[in-house]
Structure 1
Amino acid sequence: MDAGTKILVVGDVRGRFKQLFQRVETVNKKAGPFEILCCVGDFFGDDKQNEELIAYKNGFKHITVPTYILGPNQKEHEKHFEDLADGEICTNLTYLGKRGVYTLTSGVKIAYLSGVESAGSADSAKSNHEFTKSDIFAVRNSCLVSKNCSTEYRGVDVLLTSQWPYGMQENANETASKLISFLCREIKPRYHFCAINGTYFECPPFRMPKDETTQFELCTRFISLADVGNSEKAKYIYALSLKPVDKSRLLDLVQKTTNEIPCPYAGLDLCGTVDKNDTSETRQYFYDMEKKKSKGQRGYGKKRRMQELNQEKCWFCLSSPDVEKHLIITIGERFYLALAKGPINRYHVMILSTKHLPCAAQLTTEDWEELDKFKNSLRKFFKTIGQVVCFTERHYKSFHLQINVLGFEEGYAWKIKHSFEDKAEEFNLQFETLPALDSPKMLPEIGPYFLAELPDDSTLITRQMNHFPLHFARDVFCSENLLNCDEKVNWKECLLEKDEETTYVSDFRKGFAPFDFTV
């Protein structure tokens, strides 16, 4: 396909890193450049085999194509995924996470689900290498929410799982998953890749039946890949070139081919596995959800924290000697409000966590409740001065949770989303649109992101953070369409004298006082 996004997918690596990355480098030189390499199945092998990765971690060898892997499929491999800051294993090697949707710069959407189906409760996995019904609904809802609102649902470009779906091959059904079959039927991927069965198998294309999400019969191609370096020389690496489904011609998506077979999931009895009327699941539109731990595991009942910076060296921790206390407006139990350093205007403030936390995705329920109080109080305050408010968070090259708060004249409310979209196009970024944030579960479980909460209660979010412009939010706010002050894009050019900052803080505190729930 011309002008398509080139993607590589490989099956079980099982510690054969040198063989894999040498092969990928050859393929990339011959047929690339490829934007991404996706690994399904078991990535790690035994401890001896895994030693091959040391050279890549130390920088003596290099991975030429950005590589993303799924999580563990067996308990003994869980140790390799503990304490991964931002999911990065080494340069160009990243753990995608338990589940979610990853959007490439081109707009290609890749849905993914790690692990194997839990054999226990339908709602709680026994181990971190297992997934449950909740994980399935989380991925499904992420796909449906991220669709282009101006068109009918067209499916996603790629689905990555390690386990096979039930119904694809009768002799594989004992180790296959009905939950994955349900997920495929719901999100309608153009390509579905999996592994762990040790065989290469490419099924003829088939079409998903129409349902309440779309009236189109969309085509899926199922491919299982063999192990890297298998003795049978079965195919373990697959290259494809894709134009994003949302940018493809509808005719190309619905036009049938001569070798199609009936959908293997259409007649499956999924009763007892998934109840589509289970409103506790189907009404949750999560971008991603927290990783759950079972009783007896380290960290049970708590969210996994990313690596923390030394609080004594953090500008924003209240316990740090470097915090500029004269910028503080008011302090709650878990968050505080402060004037932004180098503010765009006198009403440019920030919500910051009192203790060291990296991002809003890592907040507990109690943390989120207080954060919500601050946001609602600020909305009420800005309304009294005829303004609407926008909240932004950049979890990228920033170790402490910072939420920027800026007000705009009410008549400009409709321009804010358009300004973000225009600037995103300028930087070649793709944003998903989510409903109003009501839980940290709506945020990515792992890895960097940027989000903007808009006055219309919608949320823009992206995980395309490779070389993300650090001044992106200020670029939007200072653009000609909004505040028209390009000279203030860099905060360092807006630094004030300490007495000016003190005056700004005092004025804001007085105006905010009627809405300050902390006093």
Structure 2
Amino acid sequence: MVAKVLVIGATNGRFVEAFAKVKALHAKNNFSLSLLLGDLFSDPSQITPEETENIERLLHGEIRVPLPIYFGLGRYSLPAPVREKINSSGEVCDNLFFLGKKTVLSTSDGIRIVALGGRLYAEHATGGAGGVREETLPFYSEKDAKGLKGANHADLLLTYEWPEGVGSRSTLVSSGVKGTGVIAELAAALRPRYHFSAGGEVFWEREPYLNKARSDEGGSDTKITRFLGVADWGNEAKAKALYAFSINLKDSNIAVPASATECPYGGDRDKKRPRQNSNSGASFFWGDHTGGPQDRDDRSRKRGRVGRGAREARSPPGPESCFFCLSYPQLEKHLIVSIGNEAYVTTAKGPLTNSATNPSTLPFSSHVLIIPLTHTPTIAAIDDEDSRKSTIEEMTNYRLAVEQMLKSRNCGAVTFEVSRANGVHSHWQLIPVPDDKLAAVEEAFKSEAKADKLGEFGRRRADADNKGDYFRAWISGMDGSLVINLKDVEYFDLQFGRKVLAKVMGLKSVHWKDCMQTFEQEVGDANAFKEAFKPFDFSL
């Protein structure tokens, strides 16, 4: 049986708006259950009158919980009325279940959940006598954690604190969260399929890791764990606070992803990670991350020039140094125009088009980027099938919605994607093209590909899955999409899409650096687009 699960970041008292969003998602996806990480309620000492009223409404069934939601302990204890309700009836209200400080349970779908809430209690950190007895206090002891190892295995492990060393053996940039040793030991012992922790301002998804087989398992199938820290609901960094996935309990023969690493817990956890390319992030937002040093190094190796002249291959930037990740500290938020569940839209830095080049009916750039929230080099590299499908669906919905907005202003659009395995963060670029110039776009792409010796474009379905490295373009009014394989291409100019459209529209400036705007112009363009897009924005 395949079960769909929705994970929610800590709501910290904002449960009314979170439940409303969950209700809408549940209507479309029919989730089996939902898991809320960290604090459902805010600090009891700072609860506002509005939240107090909402808690009373929740306890009396006036706020409907749309599906079974399980929550545990985070940083704070539960509000007194909630504790009293749990003590008297065992649950908060219909469909809202408290996991307690430590729990082992199996859902009606057969999902085995192990949960350990709260923070490690200092007085018991070295294994003092007894656990922290009060089930609603946000603390646990080392004995509590060790006791859960007796569960032997888990499909899902939920902890408020992160495991210490989870970033070891990972090529991703560190999340910056220190973690706790006893949580790492628990994760290593239980070997869950998924391990979720509260992320605060951070969403961080580690590469899957392999667990060591036990001596009594013989030649049993490899067990893989995926760790995710899910950000709090409504966090200021706008990091991802919802995560949906499917779990098939009968599928024990799970394929090992190419990105999988060894288990980060135990052994040489301090092994040096590959160096991060400090220059990659600087140009990444504008799409210069492919065809740069990494590609040139690869070509040097193919030609036998490995040595003094060849630079060491470096890993691409991770979420905390990626200009496309919402958790990036220096993210230019003034460019963001819409945020969905799986993707967001931002106006482009150095847009190809502007009010001077567009028709009079489109007095703002409308050159936008559609970006998945998941940090992934390609859409195909998203491991979870449901997450991958929902990401593609939402990005497509954004593309079609922007096309509809442009159509109402007598404009078409060309959307293109450069998909390469050594990329950093996948995205689509959408550029407005006047209606009277759309007919010339397809032939322009084919002619430029021939001139650049890229090969020939093929026509594919608009929603076709494309394998390997490729360039793809969607043209308003055209059935399907244009795709060209980049597998055997030695060098690909990342300005290819812009270059073709600049020729079609008779524009002199191509490179983003030659199209830079002032900050005031960027804000004005983003606000104008946002206002025009409102009637078409399905995320509102």
Whose radius of gyration is greater, 1 or 2? 2
Which protein has greater RCO, CA pairs closer than 8 Å, 6+ apart? Answer: 1
TM-score class, shorter: 0.3 to 0.5
- TM-score scaled by structure 1? 0.45
- TM-score scaled by structure 2? 0.43
